[in-house]
Amino acid sequence: DAKTTQPPSMDCAEGRAANLPCNHSTISGNEYVYWYRQIHSQGPQYIIHGLKNNETNEMASLIITEDRKSSTLILPHATLRDTAVYYCIVRVSGSSNTGKLIFGQGTTLQVKP
Amino acid sequence: DTAVSQTPKYLVTQMGNDKSIKCEQNLGHDTMYWYKQDSKKFLKIMFSYNNKELIINETVPNRFSPKSPDKAHLNLHINSLELGDSAVYFCASSLLGAGGNTEAFFGQGTRLTVV
């Protein structure tokens, strides 16, 4: 699975959009980009994933560049409850997929009032 | 209804003891995992079972033995506990049989402290 690079920390004002970047320059054609977050003292929580098209769900939007070498997770209206560590993970799909998630250090997002 | 539940939530024990952590999922998933999060907050996979068969076994001391009595349960037994085993252990599950691109659901973790 390809490696990802994220900034260690970011701040965001409550009510504003939080844009969390992720670099995955060695991503392969059959690898998906997944985002999880871990709120303090809780288990990781799935947010969103995508292959090459932009994706949106009730939690966030995922923008993947055309060359797929980077992506951005967007929380449109951040709240204090979105303060967490956000992990960008690249994972292979298909028959070789074991479901294994390789977590990096992630980005600690602090939402401030 | 909790999707992935682990027991106990906290476990404090002495060095040398043997302990077990239980995990159950009610999502109908075919694959379950154990992850370890150390004091530096790094999350690392330890084991995975797919339909009760071991499919991932990372470099983990053989004092750690997972057991999957059925698809809904994956327990973790640890023998001869050491101080370095202190960590938060997370159980997770997912559905690999659905094409592989589904999310994993995590339990709330078991904080193990070895004294």
Q: How far apart are CA A32 and CA A49, in angstroms?
A: 7
Disruptive mutation site among B106, B110, B111 for chain A (greatest number of A CBs within 10 Å): B106
| Closest C-alpha to B66, from B89, B92, B47 | B47
Least confident among A91-105, B13-27, B34-48, B58-72: A91-105
Residue A107 in this model has a pLDDT that exceeds 90: yes
Size of interface A-B (CB pairs under 8 A): 61
- Are B103 and A85 inside 8 Å of each other by CB? no
Does the CB of A35 have a partner CB in chain B at under 8 Å? Answer: no
- pLDDT given for residue A20 in this prediction: 98
Roughly how many angstroms between the first and final C-alpha of chain A, as a whole number?
A: 37
Query: Does residue B34 surpass a pLDDT of 90?
Result: yes
Comparing A64 with B101, the larger pLDDT belongs to A64
Per-residue pLDDT, B99: 60
Read off the tokens for A69.
């070498």
What distances in angstroms separate CA A85 from CA A45, B12, B25, B84, one per listed residue?
10, 26, 24, 24
- Distance (Å, whole) CA B33 – CA B74: 8
Mean pLDDT of chain A: 93
Say whether B105 and A46 touch across the interface (CB within 8 A): yes
* Mean local confidence (pLDDT), B78-96: 95
| DSSP, residue by residue, A20-88 | EEEE-TT--TTEEEEEEEE-TTS--EEEEEESSS-EE-SS-EEEE-TTSSEEEEEETT--GGG-EEEEE
Q: Is the pLDDT of residue A94 over 70?
A: no
Secondary structure (3-state) at B83? helix
Mean pLDDT computed over A22-41 = 92
Cα nearest neighbour of A95 on chain B = B100
CB contact under 8 A, B109 and A41: yes
| Tokens describing residue A25 | 């320059």
- Alpha carbon A57 to its chain centroid, in Å, reads 13
